[in-house]
């Protein structure tokens, strides 16, 4: 599922915004990161999300979109 989300995001962002990113991580490992410079997309499995707790780490940042 994470691989599909990542592939779809990369394709749509390239089509609409002409920006590219090389995905880092693997869906099978439970996480993928897409770094677009000003925007960083983190895709996590529920288990990895609870482990890394990025909401706490980046508590002062702005969440643009959260999908659960």
Give the fold, CATH level 3, of 2-57: Beta Polymerase; domain 2 (3.30.460)
- Alpha-carbon distance of 36 to 62, in angstroms, equals 16
Q: In what order do the strands lie in the sheet with 24-26?
A: 24-26, 31-35, 40-44
Tell me what the mean pLDDT of segment 26-45 comes to: 92
pTM for the model? 0.74
Assign 54 a pLDDT band (cuts: 50, 70, 90).
confident
9-20 pLDDT, tens digit each? 999 999 999 999
Contact 25, 31 (CB under 8 A): yes
């Amino acid at each position: 599922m994470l691989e599909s989300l990542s592939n779809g995001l990369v394709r749509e962002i390239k089509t609409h915004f002409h920006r590219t990113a090389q995905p880092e991580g693997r869906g099978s490992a439970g996480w993928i990161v897409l770094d677009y410079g000003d925007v960083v997309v983190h895709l996590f499995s529920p288990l990895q999300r609870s482990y890394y707790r990025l909401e706490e780490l980046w508590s002062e940042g702005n969440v643009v979109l959260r999908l659960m």
